[in-house]
Structure 1
């Protein structure tokens, strides 16, 4: 094994370690790599069902509205009928303008629901932290996110967004609960599952980062080892550490891709009526899969090929043509042929000369 080729897994494992480290450090401080979240919950419209229910009675048509202008003016004489129709059309136009203005007001209120309820407009889950804040300039035109605070996810109630929301609602001006907003048991379970997935992913990534860093160190040490038995041991150690690291990387990537995607779909389905939505972090997925692919091909693949070539080359050396072992085998065969039937080593010289004379 040429030492220069060992630079391939060294550089690749270093790059994978840096990517995993970035994924772990995302969200450590407000605004730091905020876009690299696992999942984001949009709570800016949470409670819109309360507004819809309050205005539901106002949208019901009155008995005079249900029949329309034709039913009211049809029995009047022609002149009075035309006048009645013009008047009802004018009233209908004014009513339409009023409804449009009410809709604009409702949209403005919906944009400020989170502020009125005393909660944040979004909650973003990272590997080790959970952050919250408000959309700027507003929830409907969220050009950027103003992160106000971040907390450790593995401490206290950690990634449990529902518990955090419930605490903020109870401390808010209306002193309400999630149940008052229409949270169902199914939605509550989905948010609890997200907290479990994120905690499991955090533990997996910490262990994976440790193994990837260890693989980098063992690959680096392999450059300075003298060829021989130590080189063989270095291959085995690097193959073992890279195999464990790539398994955990694959498990972590699949977990964050499949499990979180399923959770996002279920949250959006169950939370649509009450104004709760979720989105999956795309940038986090990119760096996760890049680190996995890089490590799988250039680190684990390298040591797997090197081990296979070493075993294949060793088999050829140990069993050359004729099936004789290489470990000093040819030398032992020559010695045995020369000393066959010649007695002790001290007297074999004359015997061999006598044999050549004859």
Structure 2
């Protein structure tokens, strides 16, 4: 029996609001791709989060997925998708669905199929949304028992924000994420503020395509590429500018590409962060296979939601457990 592809849009409310330099939202809109095969209806599924920053919309992602219905029916593999579809959210959902289907059909865990070692419990960062210094200090105090906090910054006023977060969470390790909001005339003052606060990593301080300055200035804190890197094709452009990369399955276009990207980036000397968009446990589950290979893990999407899907990943504070077979893989 041929494979059948189905696409659905689902909405999950965010607990409060999620705010970064590019705006704020109160719900996560995700696209779920399901591939079914066989008389017993064995099903694999995957989730993605369309991201406007990369020219994606729910409609465009659904259209890209539905356009692959015939290829999937004809038996297209995960490796075939690398040529059939561009890197991005749509390919991620379909790649992860095929991974899940393959694991179920073979009776083997997805990590083994991917050539990885068994996933382990990981400590995830917990994200603090962009706000006023006062609101961010309060949020940091509430989350101060968490060992790793990721702080969203926004440009003007960032030294005050990061100092306020450090006051609120004096013992937590800190990552900051500027989401491309810093500028050449502010980056050194912002770096100095991060040094003073004991920040361990800075994500994407300058806009992608306008980050050549990073190769010319002192980097007292490691700099991590996010918007500047999607898949392996972008690694050459990072030379001398970045010390680490943030691998997100929605950018890379699936776990298949992400595994290859992780191996190649390590070979080039980059540190690794495994990150996510704001999605459910279904989106985090495939990324968990890479978590124990990373220096930083940022898979807190479900912690930011008012409700997750059931069954979901098991979180114990900031500890996140590998996915059970009834969720994915």
TM-score bracket for this pair, using the shorter chain length = under 0.3
- Structure number with the bigger relative contact order (C-alpha 8 A, sep ≥ 6) is 1
TM-score (norm 1): 0.21
Larger-Rg structure = 1
Quick check: which one's helix share is greater? 1
TM-score by length of 2: 0.23
